[in-house]
């Protein structure tokens, strides 16, 4: 495929997409269960170009996994708790999503998650860089089924007005 977006659009449920090193200037929308594995935080970069979220996971993206990449330059907006939230990665109404070793860089909002269950974020860095960052991670509108429904472990959050915001 010539773009990550075309690969995710064509993916069948449970496909694994291995992303080569490079800068991908696009806004990826995930509507099915996929695993996206980059080549490292400094080698695989998804650049949202301030147009939308670099990666958006919609309600059919349950069990999606994102690993070993960087998301940057998402659309700047404080709009939250709706299907049109913007961040390096935005998740709306998807369950059992895992994010590991992702660099959220130079985005006004790092992670925006609404109406989710069983979200796991590990080994990641949230750094607004030179952008005046608002939320490192904003998790809202959730019905946690148990104490393990949200795991935020071994992450670094810096230069955001609100590091981790739960409501």
Q: Reduced to 3 DSSP states, what percent helix, strand and coil does the chain have, rounded to the nearest 5?
A: 5, 45, 45
Reduce the DSSP state of residue 4 to 3 states and report it.
helix
The average confidence (pLDDT) of the chain is 93
Pairing of strands 65-72, 34-37: parallel
Per-residue pLDDT of the chain (167 residues; tens, 9 = 90+): 999 999 999 999 999 999 999 999 999 999 999 999 999 999 999 999 999 999 999 999 999 999 999 999 999 987 777 778 899 999 999 999 999 999 999 999 999 999 888 999 999 999 999 999 999 999 987 666 665 688 999 999 999 999 999 88
Q: Which residues pair with 109 in a beta bridge?
A: 135
Reported pTM: 0.95
Convert the pLDDT of each residue in 53-97 to its tens digit: 999 999 999 999 999 999 999 999 877 777 788 999 999 999 999
């Amino acid at each position: 495929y010539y773009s990550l977006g075309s690969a995710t659009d064509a993916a069948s449920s449970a496909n694994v997409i291995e992303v080569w090193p490079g800068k991908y200037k696009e806004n990826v929308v995930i509507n099915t269960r996929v695993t996206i594995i980059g080549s490292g935080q400094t080698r695989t970069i998804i650049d949202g170009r301030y147009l939308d979220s670099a990666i958006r996971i919609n309600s059919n993206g349950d069990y999606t996994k994102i690993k070993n990449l960087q998301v940057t330059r998402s659309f700047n907006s404080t709009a939250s708790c709706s299907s049109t939230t913007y961040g390096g990665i935005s998740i709306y109404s998807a369950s059992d999503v895992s994010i590991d070793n992702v660099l959220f860089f130079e985005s006004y909002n790092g992670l925006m998650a609404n109406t989710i269950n069983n979200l796991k974020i590990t080994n990641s860095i949230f750094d607004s860089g030179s952008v005046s960052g608002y939320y490192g991670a904003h998790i809202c509108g959730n019905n946690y089924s148990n104490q393990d429904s949200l795991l935020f472990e071994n992450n670094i959050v810096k230069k955001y007005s609100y590091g981790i915001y739960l409501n």
